[in-house]
Chains A and B, each alone.
Chain A
Amino acid sequence: MSAVIDAQGLGKRYGRKWALTDCTIEIPAGHVVGLVGPNGAGKSTLLNLAVGLLAPTAGTIEVLGDEPAGSPEGLGRVGFVAQDTPTYSGLSVADHLRLGAHLNPTWDQGAAESRIDQLGLDPDQKAGKLSGGQRAQLALTLAVAKRPELLILDEPVASLDPLARREFLQILMETVAEQEVSVVLSSHLVADLERVCDYLVVLVASRVQIAGPVDDLLAEHRRLIGARRDTDALPANQEVIESSHTERQSTFLIRTTDPIFDPAWTVEEVGLEDLVLGYMGQAASAARNERSTLRLHS
């Protein structure tokens, strides 16, 4: 399957500060991909590079096999909902649909209108008077009605209340079901992604910690709880992602494709949130170790 986003050694620098360094990532088509990571991991930078709002300082990025925003056709194949879902506050909802119709040859006015109707938005309402949730819905409508092959959403629900958040993701899911569209959605909240994503990419400090179909990831990870023992004592086919120890007890988050036979362990399935937190924790402690090693050497 071809990649919708293919980044090789991608880097972006603002002034002297790197927002993204040496990021290599391939996101396959046909999925709803959750891009998750802590704030400052480079998620937003990566997605802005993918839609061509930013240009790379280093490396390359291809979206649907093309340079991002390289041509009107290329732009038309990618729908984007930017962070904080910007809209023209002085223009009405209907004006925004007209905007979409004038700026996109592939625009589906009927679908856009029925969606606005379904959302209960007043077409004459100025976008500046909409609630955050309604604004996000309008932005999603604009991005979807141009019939993109790839829909990219940058933290679309970050500023929404829980109810609006659920509604937004609900609509998004319906869209994906209706149209054959690949989706890449970033968030720092796993709970949001769990509901909609079937593919997960964990990005910490510009690095992909793990990527794969959600079902596979869940099947491959287990939590082991048992009497205290060293991390090194685990078999080689069990990759330790996270470990915590009390005086008597050890808990490991492991990745393995083989069955676990050791009767000393209580084996539990792992939720997506714990899995992601495990990988984020691993990356954070690796970074800590690196820093302290550097300090020892200097």
Chain B
Amino acid sequence: MIWLTWRQFRTQAAVVIGGLAVVAIVLALTGPHLVSIADGYLKVCRVDKDCGVTNNPVLTTDPRLEGALNVLVILLPALIGIFWGAPLIARELETGTYRLSWTQSVTRTRWLAVKVGVVGLASVVVAALFSLMVTWWSSPIDRANLDQFGPTFGQRDLAPIGYTAFAFAVGVTAGVLIRRTLPAMAVTLVAFVAAREALTFGLRPHLLPPEHVVSAITSVNQIGFNLSPSGLQVVGTTPNLPNAWVISTDFVSASGQTPTAQFLKSACPKLLNAPPGGGPSGGGPPPAFRECAAKIGARFHEVVTYQPANRYWAFQGIETAIFIAVALLLVGLSFWWVRHRLS
């Protein structure tokens, strides 16, 4: 059975392994250059004591390759789900070849176990290798960006492995349930994108209870203003927590209230008349701004809600575990369906 699975799978496997090899060569050739640029910048900026995020030349060295890699690593799980997962069983059901396989001296449970096992394992290995390559190549850029919970969170380390296992399982299950290759591919894409969006934006912020930092408003730089049709709003500027995931920055009074439009109107009448345009600009903040900030600082303190930087691996682990668990459930459903419903 392993032979048959491999025989049916080897062309697709060769294409992907070939692609992976090409990417590996490109990354191996360009990666060291990025590292040397990053190291060179650090040496200079440490002497000048102006190491920052925005002016690091590593961020502008290979933007096209960086963009392409990020797109590829996002697409890879979907592609594996669509081209490896969905047709795996659907094509057999669609073309009728399952009637040939299921009447050899192999039970259909074993048939399915070997197919899903071999191709599923290959999917996970490909995802792991690709993620490893991208993570290694991007490490100088990621170290400069200091935004590990940002858009790259799902493109590094463990996350792509979980996504790929899940996408593959969605493909297999869709194929088993729908029994037609093309519709199964379409459903796989839609289901995968929906699940990833739901987890990234819906579930991920709640995976662990966030931490809070409460601090007095001592600097004008902690405050920004928004003038919207509904009135003046005060917003917190991003606090300096490298690699942490800042979920919100709020201003709260001792009694737990946030600044109302009414309070702002009375505290900062001058700002209402002359829109400050967001924050301090060249030549320091205008006097009206300072006055207003001082009044807000007298009544409110700043509360930063965030996930600390050292929770990165916990988040990677939990998210990957969730996707792998759902993948296993889906595979279980496929087995049950093939045994009991496809007859």
A98→B100 CA distance, assembly (Å): 14
In the complex, what residue of chain B is closest to A142 when comparing beta carbons? B100
Judged by a CB distance under 8 angstroms, whether A121 is at the interface is no
Assembled-state Cα–Cα distance A99/B103 (Å): 12
CB atoms of B95 and A103 under 8 A apart: no
Whether B3 and A98, one on each chain, are in contact in the complex, defined by CB atoms closer than 8 angstroms, is: yes
Stretch at the interface among A31-39, A68-76, A205-213, A248-256: A68-76
Is the Cβ of A82 less than 8 Å from the Cβ of B104? no
A91 contacts chain B at the CB level, 8 A cutoff:
yes
Is the CB of B25 closer than 8 A to any CB of chain A? Answer: no
Which of A52, A84, A100, A103 touches B1 (beta carbons < 8 Å)? Answer: A103
CB < 8 Å A-B pair total: 77
> How far is the CB of A38 from the nearest CB of chain B, in Å?
23
The answer for the CA separation of A72 and B3 in the assembled complex, in Å, is 17
A105 and B105 CA atoms in complex are apart in Å by 7
Assess whether A139 is interfacial by the CB under 8 Å rule. yes
Is there a chain B Cβ closer than 8 Å to A265's Cβ?
no
Contacts of A54 in B (CB 8 A): 343
A75 neighbours in B (Cβ, 8 Å): 103-107
Interchain nearest-CB distance for B13 vs A (Å): 14
Distance in angstroms between the alpha carbons of A105 and B104 in the assembled complex: 10
User: How far, in whole Å, are A86 and B104 apart by their CA atoms in the complex?
Assistant: 13
Which B314-343 residues have C-beta < 8 A from chain A? Answer: 340, 343
Report chain B residues within 8 Å CB of A89.
Answer: 95
Q: How far is the CB of A18 from chain B (nearest CB, A)?
A: 16
- A102-B3, A103-B1, A103-B4 given; A86·B105 CB < 8 A: no
A80 beta carbon closer than 8 Å to chain B? yes
Tell me the smallest distance from the CB of A186 to a CB of chain B, in Å: 14
8 Å CB interface, A46-101 against B:
51-55, 69, 71-73, 75-76, 78-80, 82, 84, 86-91, 95, 98-100
Identify the 10 closest CB pairs spanning chains A and B, nearest first: A76-B105, A103-B104, A86-B96, A82-B99, A80-B103, A55-B343, A104-B105, A102-B3, A75-B105, A72-B105
* Partner-B contacts on A (CB < 8 A): 51-55, 69, 71-73, 75-76, 78-80, 82, 84, 86-91, 95, 98-100, 102-106, 139, 142-143, 146
